[in-house]
Structure 1
Amino acid sequence: MKKYITYYGAIVLTLTLLISCLKEEGIFQDNGSSGIVELVLPARSTSTPYAVKTTTVIVEDVFELPIEINYTGVNGTPEDVRITLSIDDAAVSKYAPSGSTIALPSAYYELPSSDVVVIPKGQKQGVYTIKLKPKTFDLTKAYALGVKIASTSAGIVSGNYSTGIYYLPVKSPWEGKYNVTIDWELPESLASERQYFPESLDVNLSTQGPGIVRGTYIGDLFSGWTNYKFNPDGSIGIAFSSASMTNISVQESNSNVNTLIFSHKTSFSHPSYGDFVLIETYVKTGD
């Protein structure tokens, strides 16, 4: 009998605790009186200190980056809620301590006139729009913006999504369709191939990283790929997929981002064939 009474007592205690919990004002009340204020971001992985949202930036005079804020609750905010945001460069440093990604310099963007976003009563979302200036970016660097919720006039600031990293890879202006003229200075071991050059082809180049685009094949002679890295001074760096190609030296190179024409003359050695010089001129024909 005592055993039965003990179980009965445990059930009563459990029900009492549940009723007590239900009487408390939880943060997810249906009337939204105490919701969570959070940045709208993808789920945060355990490998990063903050949630990361990636937005591919197009190189134009102004590119808008919307920062969305969410207020949880079925019925939205109980009143007009004023949420203050701020830029957090330190968050970018914590996200990428190696420096592979750096905080976007303030000269490269324009903030709204007010750092306060108002979510009107009964609504759930607000937007804070930052105007980026991609034409001022150094396209050889990887940028991100750290944004955080500094304060809110109502609700509770989220623990996991109060700060976010907005990673900003730039779609290279050099990405797209090209007509390329290819010529070679070939070693005697490949003298029979000289009849095929120079030649003209239509090709596509795709973005691989900051300031880098990739083309398929190496001068339409070797399999693999060629990477073209565009430096701020107009020069070009060349990298090939084949580890067999050594002593790579760019003898001449030139690029013009206004006309989207670039050219290079690059020498290298191959252990099986000898010494080569690749000469290419690319003219962009479309996106």
Structure 2
Amino acid sequence: MAIMALGLSSCLKDENIENLEYGINEDAIESNRIIELPSASGTHVIAASFVPEDKDTVFSTLTVGLASKEPASEDITVNLTLDNSAAIIDNWNEANGGELVGFPSDQFSIEGGLSVTIPRGSRSVTTPVKIAFNPSALLEAQYALGFQIASVDQTGYLISGNFKDMLIQFVAQSAFEADYSFTSVITGGANTTTTEDVYMPTIDATTVSKDGIGGYFSGYTEYTFNEDGTITVGAYADATKGSSYGATVVESSYDDNGFHVKFTILGGGYTFDETAVRN
């Protein structure tokens, strides 16, 4: 899975800093040395897709980041915990009407432990946590794990208030997750054609996602492949799906080689005629 890009926006909007709830570490506040589990989408959720085979596998996930004006001036050891996993999952279910359940503790192991190091000169360490499990054990329910930053070994760093935890949702890989050559013919509010090579990751067994809308708008698109051979499209301002562009499908089809879909957004103001071919 592509995880997340690290930016400074999270530390600048951290409510615990704004409300002075972090205490008296004025040096850290001044330099914005915030340790976080960054989320480009703001959803605090990673969908970890796996092939449902009856064999052990290792999934590398999570990014631990330093949100600061400068890269790390030293190696920074960050300790994660699963102690609050159940509460993180329950909070997500309550907020989203979900049915996620905790990953059974006897069905996985963490290789290398839960302490990770952001190297000197860097702003993040990617995929530091390796979760070993047998995918066939995950087919009975929607399993998840909730990670949280527990502590930082070095002084002068703060744990983010907004980005201190991350939920990993384990989902069986969609048959439509793939690399695609993507062409979108746009008419209406604009008249242009865009082409791009894109990787479309799993949301669930029948749905994949794509950053951007038609290679033209910034945002986020979901494609759901229905049993009747049609496709449902969702187009949103970002991956939180808090703001929808109101996608309406005009025509659609798919096969083993890819798919074609034509849809409008913004009340018909823009039309996207898209063809995606598996690479």
Q: TM-score, normalised by structure 1?
A: 0.46
Q: TM-score, normalised by structure 2?
A: 0.47
